[in-house]
Amino acid sequence: MIYAIATSDQQLAHHFSKAQIFTFYNEQQEVIAVYKNPVLGISGCSAKRLFVDLLHKMACDVVIVRKIGEKTLKRLLDAGFKVEQGNTRHTVEELLTAARLQTHPLTSPEQGVKKKTACCSGHQ
């Protein structure tokens, strides 16, 4: 299993899309790769595909987030990734252990944060 954690300031990012970096871990909780967030500084909803591309490139199985938008969560779930909700106060080891045990799975797009403005929908 490969796990991805969306991080900012060396802890779980408060919001997935605004994370500074994505750190990838193996089952032994070892860092296998670190990437800058591919969508920082890019506007538009089509940029969200870059998340999925990066996760596929790394053969990721589980994505650990704090908050994630409804549409982005749907995109990850539709792409076959498991998504676990973590706590910003937890250490990396605690986040990875909780994800392995599937303590807080996000399995439906409705569990994501609703967008307050129209984006990709053509209406409000």
Query: 52-100: per-residue pLDDT in tens?
Result: 999 999 999 999 999 999 989 999 999 999 999 999 999 999 999 999 9
Q: Which residues contact 121 (CB under 8 A, 6 or more apart)?
A: none
Percent composition of the chain: helix, strand, coil (DSSP 3-state, to 5):
30, 25, 45
* d(C-alpha 17, C-alpha 111), whole Å: 16
% pLDDT > 90, the chain? 73
% pLDDT > 70, the chain? 90
Residue 103 clears pLDDT 90, i.e. is over it: yes
Report the amino acid identity of residue 93. Answer: E
Least confident of 6-15, 28-37, 38-47, 91-100: 38-47
Query: Greater confidence, 43 or 103?
Result: 103
* d(C-alpha 6, C-alpha 23), whole Å: 7
Output the pTM of the full model: 0.88
Nearest-Å Rg of the Cα atoms of the chain is: 14
pLDDT of the residue at 123: 42
CATH number assigned to the domain covering 3-111: 3.30.420.130
